Structure 1
Amino acid sequence: MKKVISSFRLLILLVFLYNSLSPSATENVKKSIDDPQDESNEGNDETKESMDIMAESESTDSMNTYNNNSNISPELEMKGQNNSTVCTRRANSLMHEVQKANHKQFPFMAAIMSHQNEYLCAGSVVSNGIILTSAECVQKPVSYVLLNTTKAKKDDSAVMLYVKNREKFPSYAGAEHQKDIGIIFTDKHNNTVASKIKLSNLTNLKALSDFEGLGYGLNAEVNQVRDLQYIGVEYRPFDEFPDLLEGFFDCVDTKVPTCFRDFGGPAIFDNELIGIISSGQDQCTNEMSSKYAVSKKLVKVVPTYTFKAWLDEKIKKLEDKQPVALATYPTKPDGDPKTQVFYSEPTGIGYKSSAIPFLVFIVTLIAL
C-alpha cells in the first residue's frame, strides 16, 4: 500500500513538474491577446476626409477671435461678421474633430500608469523597451505602461510592461522649459505586441500645415474611462519660443467637445513623429462652427528635431545590447500569436515567481 501511495505521489510530482516548466506557465508568458477587430483602416480613412477649411484672412488682430472657452453665441457670430473672421474652405486639410481610435490603429501608443493603477500620461514606442514621453511625465510615480490597448486601464487586451528606469532630457529645468522630453525604459517584448513610430527628420516647420495629436481621454470628464483619441489641428509657429510649435483648432462644424486633456503623447504628420505634446487645453468648447473663426489653441509641442540626436543615441545603445526588432508604423505588429513573450535581464536574486507554487507543492508532498 505504501508503494502505491509513493508511486501516486511521484506521478503527481512529474505532472506538476511538466506543467511548471511549460512556456505557458512561466512569468515571461503573458495572456493571449486576440484581435477580432477589423484592421481595414476605416479610422484612418475618416481622418483623411478633406475638411477644405481655411481662414480667409490671417489678421494679426487678436480681437477678431472668439473666447476659446465659450460656445458659439449670436453675439459672437455678429462680432465675427463685423470683423470679417469668416472661414473659407481649403483643400486637403487634416483638421478634424476629436475621434476615438480603433484597436491597433496606432499600435505605438502607450498608456503610462501609476502604482495605484491611475492613468498619468501618454507615450510612444520608439524602440523595443523605450517609451518616449514628456519630462514632466517621467517625474510622476510611474509604475508600468500598457500597450495594445485603446483604454487607459488594464483589461484582457492590454499588455503590461513594468518600468525599469526613466530619464529626462539633460537640460530640462522645469515644466516651462522648452525641452520637456523624457524616456521610460521597460521590459522588452516580442514584435507581436506593438509597432514603433519613426522619428521625423523634418527641420523646416514652414513645410508643415496640419498635424494630428494623440492621447487618452482628450475630452473625458473626471472619473470617466480614458479612451485613446486623436484630433487634427492646424500648425502655427510659437513666436515666443521658436523651437516650440502650437496646434489650433478652427473652422470645423462639430458638436463633439473640443479640448486636449492629456500630455506626453505624439504629434504625428505623414505617419512620423514630429514632436511630443508637452501641454494641452483642459477647457472644452462644446460646439464649433465652420462659418466663423474661433482660433482655439489646443496643444504645445516640442519638435522632434530638438531632441532627436539625444534620443537616437539612447536607442542605438539599447538596440546594440539586445536587439529585438519591431515593425515601423504604419505597419502593424507582426502576427497575433496565442501568447505574448516578454524579455527581462536576469537579476540573479531570489526565486522566480513561477517557481514558488512548485516549491510549495513539493513541501506539501513531503509532508503527506
Structure 2
Amino acid sequence: MFIQSFLLLLALNSLSAGPVIRPEERIIGGQPIGIEEAPWQVSIQRDGKHLCGGSIYSADIIITAAHCVQGQGYQVRAGSALKNSNGSVVDVAAIRTHEGLGNDIAIVRLSKPLEFTNQVQPIPLAKTNPPPGSIAFVSGWGSSSYYSHPIDLQGVNLYIQWPYYCGLTEPSRICAGSFGRAACKGDSGGPLVFDQQLVGVVSGGTKDCTYSSIYTSVPYFREWILNAIDEIMSANRNK
C-alpha cells in the first residue's frame, strides 16, 4: 500500500541545484516510544491486524490516508503503544475520502466516541506547512527494516526538506526525512507533527524506505478536512 511513485525523481533531483537538508547533529530516530509521547496516534486495523496509522482529531473523528481505508470492516485501536493489545478498539462507522485523484487524505468516524485520557488525546490541525529545515516528528508501527515489523510504537525526528528533494512541485504534499530516516510500509496514514500540530499524513516513499517520505499536507487540505467532518457528523445526526 505504500506509494512508490517518486523513486526516479529522487535520483534525478540529486543533480538539481540547491541545498539538501541533512542531519548535522544526533537525531533521535527509530526508537520505541510510549503512547503518552504521541497520544493522538491510533492503529487502523482489519480483523485484528494493523494496516495503517491515523490521528485523533476529536472523540469521534480520525484523520488518515485515503489509500488506507478502501472498503469496509475497519477498527481503530487507541491508547496503546502496542499495535496488537491494550488500549481500546472501536469500529469504524463511516469514511470520507477526498474525491480528487492522488489527494491521499480521509476522514473516519467512529461508532462510539473515544474517552480522553493522558494516553488518548486529540491533536489540532496546522494552518501552514512547516518551513524547510525545521524538525518534525513522525510515529507509527511501520517496518523498521526489510525484516522487522515492530509491535511497539516507534518515533523519529525528521527534517522538513525542500519539495524538490521528493520531486514535488505543489504545496499539497510535504517532503520530510533524509537518507536512513523515513516513514515506511505500515506507517501510512500516520501523523507528521510540528509544533504539537498535525501538519502531514504519511502517504508514500521509496520502495526501500531509505530516503525522505511524502506526506499529504494537512494545512493545504484543512478546509476540506473541516467540511468533511461537518458532513460526516451531520449525516450521523440525521439518521
Instruction: Normalising by structure 1, report the TM-score.
Output: 0.51
CA shift, 1:208, in A, is: 5.4
Q: Does 2:123 match 1:202?
A: no
- 1:97 maps to 2:26: no
Deviation at 1:314, TM superposition (A): 3.5
Which residue identity does 1:199 align to in structure 2? L
Distance 1:258 1:236, change over 3 A: closer
Asked if residue 114 in structure 1 is aligned to residue 43 in structure 2, the reply is: no
Could you say which structure has the higher helix fraction?
Answer: 1
Distance 1:88 1:110 in 2: 28
1:260 to 148, 167, 184: 184
**Which amino acid is the alignment partner of residue 128 of structure 1?**
A
Match in the other structure for 1:303: 217
CA contact (8 A) 1:120 1:140 kept: no
Residue aligned with 1:206, SS: coil
Structure 1 position 319, deviation (Å): 7.0
Tell me what 2:227 maps to: 313
Matches within 5 A, 1:37-56: none
Task: Give yes or no for contact 2:33–2:155 (8 Å, CA) kept in 1.
Answer: yes
Q: 1:196 to 1:63 in 2, by over 3 A?
A: same
Q: For residue 242 of structure 1, what is the aligned residue in structure 2? A: 170
- Structure 1 counterpart of 2:61, which letter? I
- 1:135 maps onto 2:66 in alignment: yes
Alignment partners' CA distance in 1, 2:33 and 2:23: 28
- 1:221 to 1:190, Cα distance in 2 relative to 1, 3 A: same
Count of residues in Structure 1 that have an aligned counterpart in Structure 2: 216
**Which of 202, 209, 213 is the aligned partner of 1:277?**
202
Residue of structure 1 in register with 2:3 after alignment: none
Q: Distance in 1 between matches of 2:74 and 2:196?
A: 29
The offset of 1:111, in angstroms, is: 0.3
**Offset at 1:61?**
8.0
Using the alignment, how far apart are the partners of 1:319 and 1:163 within structure 2? 13
Q: What is the CA distance between 1:248 and its match in structure 2?
A: 2.4
2:7 equivalent in structure 1: none
Which amino acid in structure 2 is aligned with residue 219 of structure 1? S
For 1:17-46, what per-residue CA distance to the aligned partner results, in whole angstroms no more than 9, with x for missing partners? xxxxxxxxxxxxxxxxxxxxxxxxxxxxxx
Q: How does 1:164-243 map to 2 (within 5 A)?
A: 164-171=93-100, 173=101, 177=102, 179-186=103-110, 187-192=112-117, 194-203=120-129, 205-206=130-131, 209-219=134-144, 224-239=149-164, 240-243=168-171
Structure number with the bigger relative contact order (C-alpha 8 A, sep ≥ 6) is 2
Map of 1:16 onto structure 2: none
Question: Could you tell me how far 1:283 is from its partner in structure 2?
Answer: 2.1
Unaligned runs of 5+ in 1: 1-59, 65-84, 285-295, 323-344, 348-368
CA distance in structure 2 between the partners assigned to 1:163 and 1:123 by the alignment = 12
Q: Counterparts of 2:205 and 2:73 in 1: how far apart (Å)?
A: 20
Q: Secondary structure of 1:149's match?
A: coil
CA deviation digits over 1:311-331, x for unaligned, max 9? 123445677899xxxxxxxxx
Partner Cα distance (1:102, 1:311) in 2: 28
**Counterpart in 2 of 1:26?**
none
- Aligned counterparts of 2:60 and 2:92: Cα–Cα separation in 1: 9
Give the greater-gyration-radius structure (CA). Answer: 1
